Structure 1
Amino acid sequence: MTKTSVLKPRKVPTQQRAVVMVDAILDASARILVERGYAGLNTNAVAQRAGISIGSLYQYFASKEALLVALQTRHAMEMSSALQSLLGQSERCGLPEAVAQFVRAAVAAHEVAPDLHRVLEKELPFFVEDSELVGKEVHRHVLSLLELYRAEVAQPNLELAAWMMMRMTEALVHAAVLEPPPGLAASEIEAGVSHAILAFLTTAVGRP
């Protein structure tokens, strides 16, 4: 069994009962990670916390590393869903408002279980190279967002602009939500992140 296969779910739940069980497994994993850290996470403890047998857990996840990657995948899917909803709005609101909404969606996603996100931020780099999440869906949505407002984006390379927008948002929002600076209101920080991204997108950069 390769390292990559160990990180992938063994199968995807299709029946409602199985979906509920997998959610319970991931919720239990999240609680244990927050309480004990990655070193304290093990599949037996997760199964016991989720109220299922270890055999049932192993039907879906081969290792605790697979659980960790699945938690981050769920987070990425939440972000992707938020962006898809933003892109599905019937009326264009202009690039500044679209960027502000994108940042708000990122902040909202990170505000859910921030303690868990701190653990994922610390532990996931050991596994992310071999997982398939790596933000491809989020990148696709960001690229679509920039294409929608192409006339307002000064950057010539939209692929680069989408990558920069994702990385700027992830870094700044992580810092704002997980390690908030004292004396600054959340609304000020959120506005600052939006302005920084908008400044990059609307500043023309010559080709090297």
Structure 2
Amino acid sequence: MTEAHKNLALPALQKRGRDRQQSLLDAAEALIVERGLEGFAMADVAKRAKAAHGSLYQFFASRTAILVTLHARHIERLKAALAGASAMLKAGSARPPPKVFLEAYLAPLQAFMEANPAYRILRLGMPEDWEGAGQEAALDSGLVTELTNMLAWLAPEAPAATRNLSAQILLQVVDALFVLNVSDDMKAEATRLLEMYLGDLAGRYAGGAFGEIA
């Protein structure tokens, strides 16, 4: 094989490697949902992915490595979902009512949780000092910053400290709703209370009216 052919083959090999890694992560996620964090071995992951046992170790040195990588994939998907929600709100020319603002964040979270059921198990079942803890802290910090900025659309005159505190409250309540998998009735009631809270914030600092932003 010539050097030029090697260069052409490299991207294909890299893609196959990425595809194989993703199939292994998909297999691990399915096993976590079925059996929990401790209910499977490395051999089970390889068998579920229809991969050679030895090839698994080319990508992951241990079960912990699989769990950390899987969680990192969850984090990236969650960040992308929420970034899309933020972009939609920013694209609007009018300040969104509290209900629209809240739905814009709850909808992608709900869709993410339904598409990634192992995320909840990982969040609740891993020790606090595991490698994913830092990812969670960074994600939460980024979401608070994003929500703080977005709350300026609801209450542009509110002090930054007030918007930051409101963002933290929103994040903690929504996190509990989805990660703890509370009942639909409780979600509906919590959503109603959050909508009231945002309405009060907007009324106090934005003159109580919604419309075009100058």
Q: TM-score, normalised by structure 2?
A: 0.69
Asked if 1:168 is matched to 2:173, the reply is: yes
**Which one has the largest radius of gyration?**
2
Aligned length: 185
**1:45-64 maps to which residues of 2 (within 5 A)?**
45-64=44-63
Among residues 101, 104, 108, which one is paired with 1:105 in the alignment?
A: 108
**Cα shift readout 1:169-208 (whole Å, capped 9, x = no counterpart):** 1112233xx3425xx396x35733642663696698xxxx
**Cα shift readout 1:16-42 (whole Å, capped 9, x = no counterpart):** 212211111111111212222222222
1:123 matched to which residue of 2? 125
Asked if structure 1 preserves the Cα contact closer than 8 Å seen for 2:74 and 2:119, the reply is no
1:203–1:69: structure 2 CA closer, same or farther, 3 Å change rule?
Answer: farther
**Cα shift readout 1:38-69 (whole Å, capped 9, x = no counterpart):** 22222121112112223332222221122222
CA distance in 2, matches of 1:160, 1:123: 28
Q: TM-score, normalised by structure 1?
A: 0.71
Aligned structure 1 segments of 4 or more residues deviating by more than 6 angstroms:
none
- For residue 21 of structure 2, what is the amino acid of its counterpart? V
- For residue 198 of structure 2, what is the amino acid of its counterpart? L
Asked if structure 2 preserves the Cα contact closer than 8 Å seen for 1:128 and 1:134, the reply is no
Offset at 1:79? 1.5
1:144 matched to which residue of 2? 146
- For residue 133 of structure 1, what is the amino acid of its counterpart? Q
Asked if structure 1 preserves the Cα contact closer than 8 Å seen for 2:148 and 2:160, the reply is no
**1:1-208 maps to which residues of 2 (within 5 A)?**
15-89=14-88, 90-92=91-93, 93-94=95-96, 96=98, 97-114=100-117, 116-128=118-130, 131-137=133-139, 139-150=141-152, 152=155, 154=158, 156-157=160-161, 158-175=163-180, 178-180=181-183, 184=185, 188-189=188-189, 191-192=191-192, 194-195=194-195, 198=198
